Amino acid sequence: MTAPDPTDGDLLVRFTAGDAAALETLFARYEGPVFRFLFGILRDHHAAEDALQETFVQAIRSADAVTPEGFRGWLFTVAHRQAMLTKRKAKRLPSQADELVLLGLVGGDPADARTARADDARAVFELIDQLPAPQRAVVLARVVEGKKFREVADALGCPLNTALARMHEGLKKLRQLWEARHA
């Protein structure tokens, strides 16, 4: 007799305790259903894929705050919010908007606010340099280079779930370093 498959709650508890394999199982369990859900809303394969990745990023970031028994419903709620964000962004922004152009559109910032932003950006890059190499590689590829998680995983030669877990751990460590720096 084989052991029953672990519940979502069991996997979530294991992941929040540091078991990356639990995340892989959760991702494998929900990748197809969440993608189909998103595609049904967005009617665009690439947009649904992007929204799927962002859904899992949000799930990783907030995994500690989710009740294990409510994970599935919560995940689909996050996916729905991500689909709505994707739709709103598509209406507001050109598809290939350059970040510097977008920052220029905001304009009107006093020079000292720009300087403070530049100082914060330098500080963040200094903290990123303190991350373990695998986490640093994922964070830089995702945030600086703007790669999608699938592209990051392919570039680093690791499974998608590993790239997601490294991003989660890297962001958590970055947050701790930031808080320690400003304490």
The tens digit of pLDDT for each residue in 114-134 reads: 566 666 667 777 888 888 999
What residue segments make up the domains of the chain, in order of their start? 1-92, 98-183
CB 134 within 8 A of CB 152: no
Q: What is the pLDDT of residue 92?
A: 63
Q: Do domains 1-92 and 98-183 have the same CATH topology?
A: no
How much of the chain exceeds pLDDT 70, in percent? Answer: 83
Q: Is 142 in contact with 152 (CB distance < 8 Å)?
A: yes
Give the global pTM. 0.57
**Please, which residues have CB within 8 angstroms of residue 90's CB and are 6 or more apart in sequence?**
47
pLDDT above 60: residue 182:
yes
The band of 83, judged by pLDDT with boundaries at 50, 70 and 90, is: very high
Q: How far apart are CA 36 and CA 8, in angstroms?
A: 19
**Domain 1-92, CATH:** 1.10.1740.10
Architecture of domain 98-183: Orthogonal Bundle (1.10)
Average pLDDT across the chain, whole number: 80
Q: What tokens were used for 132?
A: 């373990």
Which residue has better confidence, 177 or 1?
177
For residue 61, what are the contacts with CB-CB under 8 A and spacing of at least 6?
168, 171
Chain-centre distance for alpha carbon 77: 16
The span from the first CA to the last CA of the chain, in angstroms, equals 54
Question: What percent of the chain lies above the pLDDT cut of 90?
Answer: 14
More confident residue, 175 or 33: 33
